[in-house]
Amino acid sequence: MVDVTVRGAGIFGLSIAWTCARRGAKVQIVDPFGPGAGSSGGLVGALAPHVPENWNAKKAFQFESLIMAKPFWTQVEATGGVSPGYARLGRLQPIADARGLELARAREQTAATLWQGQADWIVRAVDQIGAWCPPSPTGFVIHDTLSARMHPRRACAALVAALAVMGIEVTTDAPDIGQVIHATGLAGLQELSTAFGKTVGNGVKGQAALLRFDAGTVPQLFADAVHIVPHADGTLAIGSTSEREYDDPSSTDSALDDVLDRAMRAVPVLHGAEVIERWAGIRPRSKSRAPMLGAHPLHKGQFIANGGFKIGFGMAPKVAEVMADLVLDGRDVIPEDFHPKASL
């Protein structure tokens, strides 16, 4: 007996399957390429919030998901015994100029309200931080305590292990049974674009690198548009590019070299660290730039969860919750801008 078929074993598909199973549903997961085979098998894992201002449904949804992340991943690890590498350690960002400093100080106040006292956005002097701090032209950095890190591959592996304990495996082929959710990433967006004769979503190439460098338990950095994320296993991820035009979706090139150079300038202590992996992948981006959640535009009576793009891992706990609400209980609490019609 199967109540829910999830097509796609990336972060959205696995998280939705996990949440549905925890609510008592019989779930099967189908992915011809296996778990974490697409962009969910990347390296960076920066779970970082949008700027705390001009509040909207997308920012509120992301905030709620980032707050949900600790209990979500704690339960996953406790069930399956595999660590996703999750830790809410915050983030440091250098402030480039006087205007940026003015904006950052104003956002201290908006964060106090919008983040409901559950996290802080604080301007701090560089000399208050210590050695693990990027150079800053103004001598100040933004320190937010909402950002978290995880290792994307380990997070997928943790979900697979937890689902296995519940008797759920990822299979390469199976018929649609019960409620069907398509979490098929780029292939799903391409299917929609072909069917509607226009761009409903597209793929954006990202390149990243993994260094052998144990920074310890420190915040992630965002400097010169580069994410620098220390992982729990003694590695450090650097990324990523955003390439709408590309020839080879899986190759790395000089664009990644540039990212590495910028990271080294921002954090000179990284010079000489061994690059143990170079990665490239295509991230699914909906036309609206928000996750695409709700009734599937093509497959009547079925559902879609797609378009995680750069924020998929941070959005996953809340995406899983609202999709389970919709599929299992018929309760639609998905933000209007996330419904597929926003991208059609």
Q: What integer is the mean pLDDT of 232-240?
A: 97
pTM of the prediction?
A: 0.97
Residue 328, classified by CB atoms within 10 Å of its CB into exposed (0-12), middle (13-18) or buried (19+), is: middle
Residue 7: the pLDDT is 98
Tell me the percentage of the chain whose pLDDT exceeds 90.
Answer: 99
Ramachandran sector of residue 85 (left: φ over 0; alpha: ψ -120 to 50; beta: rest): left
179-182: strand order across its sheet:
170-171, 27-30, 4-7, 179-182, 303-306, 292-295
Render pLDDT for 241-299 as a digit per residue (tens, 0 to 9).
999 999 999 999 999 999 999 999 999 999 999 999 999 999 999 999 999 999 999 99
Q: What integer is the mean pLDDT of 81-110?
A: 98
Render pLDDT for 332-341 as a digit per residue (tens, 0 to 9).
999 999 999 9
Which fold is adopted by the domain 4-88+141-198+287-343?
Answer: FAD/NAD(P)-binding domain (3.50.50)
Q: What integer is the mean pLDDT of 66-89?
A: 98
Render pLDDT for 150-207 as a digit per residue (tens, 0 to 9).
999 999 999 999 999 999 999 999 999 999 999 999 999 999 999 999 999 999 999 9
CA–CA distance, 61 with 55 (Å, rounded to integer): 10
Residue 104: the pLDDT is 98
